[in-house]
Amino acid sequence: MINKRVASVTEALQGVRDEMTFMLGGFGLCGIPENSIAELVRLGIRDITCISNNAGVDDFGLGLLLRKRQIRKMISSYVGENDEFERQMLSGELEVELTPQGTLAEKCRAAQAGIPAFFTPAGYGTEVAEGKETREFEGKMYVMEEAFRADFSIVKAWKGDEAGNLIFKGTARNFNPCMCGAAKITVAEVEELVPAGELDPNQIHIPGIFVQRIFRGDHYEKRIEQRTVRKR
Amino acid sequence: MLDKDGIAKRIAKEVKDGYYVNLGIGIPTLVANYVPDGIDVEFQSENGVLGMGPFPYEGDEDADIINAGKQTITTLPGASFFDSAMSFAMIRGQHVHLTILGAMEVADNGDIANWKIPGKMVKGMGGAMDLVASAENIIVAMMHTNKAGESKLLKKCTLPLTGVNCVKKIVTNLAVLEIIDGGFRLLERAPGVSVEEIKQATEGRLVVEGDVPEMKL
């Protein structure tokens, strides 16, 4: 067993610097690496690029990094629900690259899988395809998209073991598995960290080979963005 | 004339037994309420769930189980969770049979615009571009005209496009229309709405053949 366990979030994020590119898992506030985001805020690194489906809300998730103006560029598919984001984007302080959600996921997966580029129909004929190579296959048009290149992937899983194997829960899975192994270093924070051998190998979602550092996160707030319920 | 629930009710009749369906935000979400008994369908949400159920009972919400609108949801027997890359493999790979989504504009060649208004805050396309570029069957649910009373069924979209030549059918508060070669073919009228009223509200090329029946809900 190759032990990936590190003692703390500080150790897990050793080597992060200004101007680096980060992939961060999560959909809205669901399945975001809360502990790592808090540490990035504490470290105060600046001019970073964040690849993440969304940009959090004003006072949680990536919104915390935005508030401290640590992010220079966001690569996302949807960035609503965040006033500070809007202000920085309109004032030109923040660069934003909007990418179709499936393309965003596949650009992560391609990086993970060693595929430099791929063709997708998403965005053909729209401004997303401007300046990109297009090609026809079987009578349908496709746009070439390139794999992401990132320094750190930071993901959140439900359970993990010392070997770096990960299991996700519910829709908190989202972009997290696609980002594992898609950057130079992958950091996984988990709610429950167990010794190797305790997780059933049949149930592993992401094998530890894709993860370099794993630690147990504390105090997950798991904020709900839209609490929708029905009466009993 | 139909209200939003009426549009959803009419679209629900397009949902066939055995379909996997992706519902967009807004009117499309209401369609789930009107699928008739005896029709087995599974709803997909692109953030990574198939077999979406109703909202949870108060107190049962789970922050780790949401839909693409970030709302807390439940799952039904047979449900599954998966990652975003697999979710869009289902969509791009045309394993999802039907996509129902809203639009700001549709052109009579099937172009759709629903993600960006220049000069206003741009929130992003989310999964809409992947969905419209891939789905075999796309139904647009929307009002026939905008708040200013202008037609949303146009010769050419004026807003930035989400996808080209992709819409198959449109259900509005006034009519059911399908996209045929270079036009909106009028299939049904909403209750109490005349062909003339639909013509007035449609800027793009409207094709009317014979008697157009009133929809049955």
Q: What percent of chain B has pLDDT over 70?
A: 100
- Angle B128-B129-B132 (CA atoms, 0-180°, nearest 5)? 80
Residue A201 in tokens: 């190998």
ipTM of the complex in this document: 0.96
Q: What are the DSSP calls for A108-170, one per residue?
A: HHHHHHT--EEEESTTTTSGGGTTS-EEEETTEEEEEEEPP--SEEEEEEEEEETT--EE--G
Mean pLDDT of chain B: 95
Q: What is the pLDDT of residue B122?
A: 82
pLDDT, residue A90, reads 84
Contact A139, A153 (CB under 8 A): no
Least CB-CB distance to A78: which of B71, B123, B130?
B123
Q: Residue A190: helix, strand or coil by DSSP? A: strand
Distance from the Cα of A218 to chain B's closest Cα (Å) equals 16
Domain B4-47+84-207 has CATH 3.40.50.720: no
Q: Nearest by CB to A30, from B63, B126, B161: name it.
A: B63
Residues A106 and A142: their CA atoms lie apart, in Å, by 14
Q: A155 with A187: CB under 8 angstroms? A: yes
φ/ψ (deg, to 5) at B121: -55, 130
Active-site annotation holds for B46: yes
Average of pLDDT values for B190-197?
A: 97
Which residue in chain B has the smallest CA separation from A54?
A: B126
A175 contacts B84? CB cut-off 8 A: yes
pLDDT at residue B25, rounded to an integer: 86
- Looking at residue A80, its pLDDT comes to 76
- Check: CB of residue B63 under 8 Å from CB of residue A154: no
- What is the mean pLDDT of the segment spanning B81-88? 98
Q: Is the pTM of this model over 0.90?
A: yes
- Which residue shows structure tokens 């109490």? B192
| Residue whose tokens read 């679209």 | B11
pLDDT score at B60? 97
pLDDT digits (tens, 9 = 90+) for B3-28: 999 999 999 999 999 999 999 988 99
Stretch B107-125: mean pLDDT: 91
CB B162 to CB A80 under 8 A?
Answer: no
Chain B hits for A78, Cβ within 8 Å: 123-126
Q: Residue B158's pLDDT is what?
A: 97
Contact A174, A27 (CB under 8 A): yes
pLDDT of residue A163: 98
Please state, for a pLDDT cut of 90, what percent of chain B lies above it: 92
In tens digits, chain A (232 residues) has pLDDT values of: 999 999 999 999 999 999 999 999 999 999 999 999 999 999 999 999 999 999 999 999 999 999 999 999 999 999 977 888 888 988 899 999 999 999 999 999 999 999 999 999 999 999 999 999 999 999 999 999 999 999 999 999 999 999 999 999 999 999 999 999 999 999 999 999 999 999 999 999 999 999 999 999 999 999 999 999 999 8
Contact flag A78-B64 (C-beta cutoff 8 Å):
no
Average the pLDDT over B157-166 and give the result: 97
Q: Which of A27, A126, A230 sits opposite B162 (nearest CB)?
A: A126
Contact indicator for B105, B113 with CB cutoff of 8 Å: yes
Please tell me the distance from the alpha carbon of residue B86 to that of residue B92, in angstroms, as a whole number: 10
pLDDT of residue A96: 95
pLDDT of residue B214: 96
Contact A100 B70 (CB under 8 A): no
Window 6-25 of B: residues touching A by CB (8 A cutoff) are none
Look at residues B174, B177, B172 and name the one whose alpha carbon lies nearest to residue B198.
Answer: B174
Residue B121 has pLDDT above 80, yes or no: no
Specify whether the CB–CB gap between A53 and A155 falls below 8 A: no
Distance from CA of B201 to the nearest CA of A (A): 26
Q: Which domains does chain A have, with CATH numbers?
A: 9-117+149-216 (3.40.1080.10)
Helix axes A101-113, B84-92, angle to 10 degrees: 120
Residue in B47, B92, B164 closest to A27 by CB:
B47
Going from N- to C-terminal start, the domains of chain B cover 4-47+84-207
Strands laid side by side in the A134-137 sheet: A117-120, A140-146, A134-137
* Mutation site for A-interface testing, chosen from B22, B64, B115 by largest number of A Cβ within 10 Å: B64
- Beta-carbon contacts of residue B149 (< 8 Å; ≥ 6 apart): none
Q: Is the pLDDT of residue B201 over 90?
A: yes
